[in-house]
Amino acid sequence: MDDQLSDLEGGALAFIARNGPTTSYAVAKDFADSPSEFWSGSAGAVYPLIKRVLARGLLEASKGKDGARARTRYTLTPAGLKAMKAWLLNAKRASSIGFDPLRTRIVHLDQVSAEERKEFLKQVQALLDAAKSETVWNDIPRLAAIHATVLEARQSWLNALKALFD
């Protein structure tokens, strides 16, 4: 019954669906270039993942050539597209709380002194601010726009948290 995709698998298939015939390398790079450091986008994660979903019939391999180089490119099968959409539109999982390094700390921030707390929150704010001017995803307007909302949302959340500690 568990034909559901993991979030890494889902993200990989969605990327392939968008790009058409795609190499494992390109999938790995996509994860590595994302502003989240949660997934490293390492070969050790992605190459086995692609083989896994290929074995499940969700991908089709096409062995092509690029000059002397052999290239294996993958495309979604109809079943793959269906699985990807089921992953993507899973509202229940989308609405769940994931992992947030700030949230896991905030719940324990009352254990330090007011000065340490203030200094910490100031530093986080500065880093969040600095993240805005980082050139990540700037070449793709769609992603840049989404990333901007993420950073803004984090900042206003941080302000709400600051108010809690007054």
Which spans of this chain sit near DNA (rule: CB under 7 A)?
6, 8-9, 23-26, 28-29, 39-45, 47-49, 52, 66-73
Q: Give dist(CA 108, CA 113) in Å, integer.
A: 12
Q: Which stretch binds a second copy (CB under 8 A): 36-44, 45-53, 55-63, 65-73?
A: 36-44
CB of 65 to a second copy, least distance (A): 29
User: Are the beta carbons of 62 and 21 closer than 8 angstroms?
Assistant: yes
63 lines the binding site for a second copy (CB under 8 A): no
Contact 28, 43 (CB under 8 A): yes
- Select the binding partner of residue 100 from DNA, a second copy, none (C-beta < 5 to 8 A, by kind): a second copy
**Cα pseudo-dihedral 45, 48, 54, 60, rounded to 10:** 80
Interaction mask 5-34, a second copy, x per CB under 8 A: --x--xx--xx-xx----------------
Q: Looking at beta carbons only, is 40 or 123 nearer to DNA?
A: 40
Q: Which of 52, 112, 114, 134 binds a second copy (CB under 8 A)?
A: 112
- 136 backbone dihedrals φ, ψ, rounded to 5°: -125, 130
Residues listed for the chain? 166
Cβ closest to a second copy, residue 15 vs residue 47? 15
CA distances from 59 to 7, 73, 137 (A): 16, 10, 27
The single residue listed with the structure tokens 């698998």 is: 9
